Amino acid sequence: MKFIDETVITVRAGNGGSGCLSFRREKYIPYGGPDGGDGGNGGSIIIRGTDSLNTLADFRNKSIFTAENGKAGGSRNKHGRNGDDLIIDLPLGCVITDNITNEELCDLDKEDKTFIVAKGGEHGFGNVRFKTSTNRAPRKKTLGKEGESREIKIVLKVLADVGLVGLPNAGKSSFLQAVSMARPKIADYEFTTLTPNLGVVLYSDYEKFVVADIPGIIEGASTGVGLGTQFLKHISRTKMLLNIIDGSNKTYEMITDEIEKIHHELESYDETLIKKDLWIVINKIDLVSNEELNDLRNKFNMTKLVVYFVSTVTKIGIEELTDNIYEFLKYENRIK
């Protein structure tokens, strides 16, 4: 199934019901006076954030959402019924913008957060409202106002704490699998991952953090090479990034070169990405001899980089790394 992370829909709020023009007619009461009631308000379109959805797939086949119109007012001062609001549930992490003006309308970052994207039209007034001392039989009523209508763009940005970046085949998905219950596709070829995967790392019943595994990026990705950098938007809200690197058969220089390339691609896409804490995770050390490993450790010790050496196969180094991520996020107050 295609991962849909962006969609445009049209929302049309209901129109207000018109007011009624009517006069009381009862036996023995001539000239009974006006009794036309007001119309009902049109229903609004409301979006709401929910934890229980995680894709925009529901929007594949439906792009127009309409709320109910308000009913017209009636005689005997009867108010028209208000149109029902239409509530559209969206996954947490959705950012809503007006598709025409590009104005950001709402950021659904909390469970049950709501926002009115199209307000229902106000009701019209019945003729009873226009009765004055000089005009006891007004023949005036008003129509309901039209409901708001607009095109909105919904972009789903994953709400993860930790983002995994790196070249294809580095072992990002393997890392996600090693630390969480997620079972992403893992294979020995580039661009195995085509859509982002999320995994929850459970620390205890009430402490967890979310890791996002995204497709690999290569040199030139920010100009569209490979799968491009479109998926980097999913990690724009993470608290930290891990640059996963395949450490097998690589010299210190090859690794630092790779770190710089990834750094450059991140920076070209969005400068705020490189302001995040970025830790280097050198993976596949089960394939590296002790001698080479010591040499790499010594060289990286001389730098300011935060570097971990792990293997997602033997699990070496994984626990220490996740413990430190946990401490970091806790310190940053990010753990729920």
- Which spans of this chain sit near ligand GTP (rule: CB under 6 A)? 166, 168-174, 186-188, 190-193, 215-216, 283-284, 286-287, 311-313
CB 183 within 8 A of CB 174: no
* Residue for token pair 């969005």: 270
Q: What angle do CA 118, 120, 126 make, to 5 degrees?
A: 160
Q: What angle do CA 49, 228, 220 make, to 5 degrees?
A: 145
User: CB-wise, 127 or 195, nearer to ligand GTP?
Assistant: 195
Instruction: Compute the least distance from the CB of residue 192 to ligand GTP, in Å.
Output: 4
CB 15 within 8 A of CB 145: yes
Instruction: Compute the least distance from the CB of residue 283 to ligand GTP, in Å.
Output: 5
Instruction: Compute the least distance from the CB of residue 177 to ligand GTP, in Å.
Output: 7
Instruction: Compute the least distance from the CB of residue 311 to ligand GTP, in Å.
Output: 4
Question: 156: which strand partners?
Answer: 94
Instruction: Show the binding pattern over residues 138-177: x = contacts Mg ion (CB under 5 A), - = does not.
Output: ----------------------------------xx----
CB 172 within 8 A of CB 52: no
CA neighbor of 192 nearest in space, from 165, 221, 171, 211: 171
Instruction: Pick the stretch among 4-12, 18-26, 49-57, 193-201 that binds Mg ion (CB under 5 A).
Output: 193-201
User: CB-wise, 18 or 229, nearer to ligand GTP?
Assistant: 229
User: CB-wise, 192 or 256, nearer to Mg ion?
Assistant: 192
User: CB-wise, 47 or 217, nearer to Mg ion?
Assistant: 217
* Residue for token pair 């490979």: 226
Instruction: Compute the least distance from the CB of residue 243 to ligand GTP, in Å.
Output: 11
For 259, the 3-state DSSP assignment is helix
β-strand pairing of 207-213 with 277-283: unpaired
Residues making contact with Mg ion (CB under 5 A):
172-173, 192-193
